[in-house]
Amino acid sequence: MKRINLLVISLLFCATTFAQQAIWGVISIKSPDIHSDNNVTFRLKAPKANTVQITGDFLPTQKIATPYGKFDAPGIENLTMNKDSIWEFTTAAPLASELYSYSFIVDGVRVLDPSNVYMNRDVTNVTNIFIIGGTPGDLYNVNNVPHGTVSRTWYNSPTLGMKRRLTVYTPAGYEDSQKQRYPVLYLLHGMGGDEEAWIALGRASQVLDNLIAQGKIKPMIVVMPNGNAAQEAAPGESSLGLQQPTTQLPKTMEGSFEKAFPDIVKYTDSHYRTIAQKSSRAICGLSMGGFHSKFISAEYPDLFDYVGLFSAAIMPNGNTTCEIYQNQDAKLKIQFAKKPKLYWIGIGNADFLYKANTDYRKYLTDHSYPFTYFETGEGHIWKNWRIYLAQFTQKLFKQ
């Protein structure tokens, strides 16, 4: 085995030149260290630091004042140096099952945990992640179940005049069959997101693999487009190069994406073994994606029998003069006259869009338009959207 050891050592030096401390006897740091009782210890080696803190969504939120009002921000806790000269923090109580995000703050600088290679990008911001098993955490884990395929492909949008990137989930068994056809869920991201958001932050492929394996949802194709009409693709995935992401994108929520949506349906129906009919199509999205789902499903009332609005940015009259946003009363009247099988609204009771959604529910009720309502605690966060995805998909394509 001597040759192999030399190879390992040499490779670590030559190829991964920063990894050297791992092999020269320096204490290997485990972080996060998830204990059997679901307490978690976080550790960082930073001998010269004056203060090391941790912030993350596993800590209670705190209100912080801004020129625009008070907002929730994640709590911050101090790490202390342990006897091995490692900074350490252990949670005060076991954590509930969930996928959590965190960062360290070393002398005021936000720092990713060098002991944890698992990260999510949320718009401009990268944080480390970890999962506490149980319910719902096990839904977000890769389990020993059949796995679907996740493809990053490119579709042609004649309406937007470009090829655009598309993330597509095909369920386990899709490639082994030459004949079976599947229903399709179109799953839309929020403002600042892109075609990577549901896969990364939403753990969509894990949720789908697991719920399909449990027999709780029908095997389905899930199409995750980029909802920013000016973008070809997620940051770093287009010819714009490795630009910094931004929420300040042109052509979002001004009608272009909604208008061009049939390009995506057409591509999907012509490139995948879909059941190309209204009763086998669903559309849903979070925040801006809920806004998109609302207007797309109303504009094209023959496309989708299932509509899901997750913490939707309900802005009934839209923000531009685009035709898509006009005559909503008449469009909704037509949409509901065609009796969609499910019109589903989910929101957290602390969401800043809660009132807008309450008003919209009243509108639907006043017009006798049937809908299903699902309320959770907390606000405008991925924790809720993952739950809504699991809830909504269990209601699809079963009638």
Task: Find the binding residues for its own copies in span 232-261 (CB under 8 A).
Answer: 233, 235-239, 241-242, 244-245, 247-248, 253
Residue 17 binds to its own copies (criterion: CB under 8 A)? yes
**264 binds its own copies per the rule CB under 8 A:** no
Q: According to CB under 8 A, which one of 45, 251, 333, 341 is a site residue for its own copies?
A: 45
- Minimum CB separation of residue 363 from its own copies in Å reads 17
74 binds its own copies (CB under 8 A): yes
Q: Does 223 bind its own copies (CB under 8 A)?
A: no
HSE, CB side, 13 Å, CA atoms: give it for residue 167.
22
Task: Give 64 or 334: the residue with its C-beta nearer to its own copies.
Answer: 64
Measured from the CB atom, the residue of 271 and 398 that comes closer to its own copies is: 271
Measured over the CA atoms of residue 234, residue 240, residue 243 and residue 248, the dihedral's sign is: negative
Q: Rule CB under 8 A: is residue 14 a binding residue for its own copies?
A: yes
Contact with its own copies (CB under 8 A) among 50, 135, 368, 399: 50
The piece of 101-109, 222-230, 275-283, 293-301 that touches its own copies (CB under 8 A) is: 101-109
Give the nearest distance from C-beta 144 to its own copies in angstroms: 4
Interhelix angle 288-299/328-337, nearest 10 degrees: 70
Query: Interface mask (CB under 8 A) for its own copies, residues 193-212, using x and -?
Result: --------------------
Per the CB < 8 A criterion, the answer to whether 313 and 290 are in contact is yes
Whichever of 137 and 183 has its CB closer to its own copies, that residue is 137
Per the DSSP assignment, residues forming a β-bridge with 81 are 87
Of 81, 119, 213, 275, the residue at the interface with its own copies (CB under 8 A) is 119
Of 40, 46, 221, 389, the one binding its own copies by CB under 8 A = 46
Specify the residue, 82 or 124, whose C-beta has the smaller distance to its own copies: 124
Q: Which of 40, 54, 95, 106 binds its own copies (CB under 8 A)?
A: 106
Q: State which of positions 329-388 bind its own copies (CB under 8 A).
A: 351-352, 379-382
Phi-psi region of 50 (alpha: psi -120 to 50; beta: other; left: phi over 0): alpha
Per CB under 8 A, does 124 bind its own copies? yes
Shortest distance, position 398 Cβ to its own copies, whole Å: 26
Q: Which of 38, 39, 41, 115 binds its own copies (CB under 8 A)?
A: 115
Q: Does 7 bind its own copies (CB under 8 A)?
A: yes
Q: Closest approach of Cβ 19 to its own copies, in Å?
A: 5
Query: Is residue 399 at the binding interface for its own copies, with CB under 8 A as the rule?
Result: no
Interaction between residue 60 and its own copies (CB under 8 A)? no
Q: How many residues bind its own copies (CB under 8 A)?
A: 107
Site residues for its own copies, 140-159, by CB under 8 A, read 141-144, 146-147, 149-154
What's the chain look like in SS3?
CHHHHHHHHHHHHHCCCCHHHHCCCCCCCCCCEECCCCCEEEEECCCCCCCEEEEECCCCCEEEEECCEEEEECCEEECEECCCCCEEEECCCCCCCEEEEEEEEECCEEECCCCCCCEEEECCEEEEEEEECCCCHHHHCCCCCCCCEEEEEEEEECCCCEEEEEEEEECCCCCCCCCCCECEEEEECCCCCCCCHHHHCCCHHHHHHHHHHCCCCCCCEEEEECCCCCCCCCCCCCCCCCCCCCCCCCCCCCCHHHHCHHHHHHHHHHHCCECCCHHHEEEEEECHHHHHHHHHHHHCCCCCCEEEEECCCCCCCCCCCCHHHCCHHHHHHHHHHCCCCEEEEEEECCCCCHHHHHHHHHHHHHCCCCCEEEEECCCCCHHHHHHHHHHHHCCCCCC
CB of residue 275 to its own copies, shortest distance in Å: 19
Per rule CB under 8 A, is residue 275 in the interface with its own copies?
A: no
78 binds its own copies (CB under 8 A): no
CA-to-CA distance for 201 and 385, rounded, in angstroms? 9
Query: Among residues 79 and 342, whose Cβ is nearest to its own copies?
Result: 79
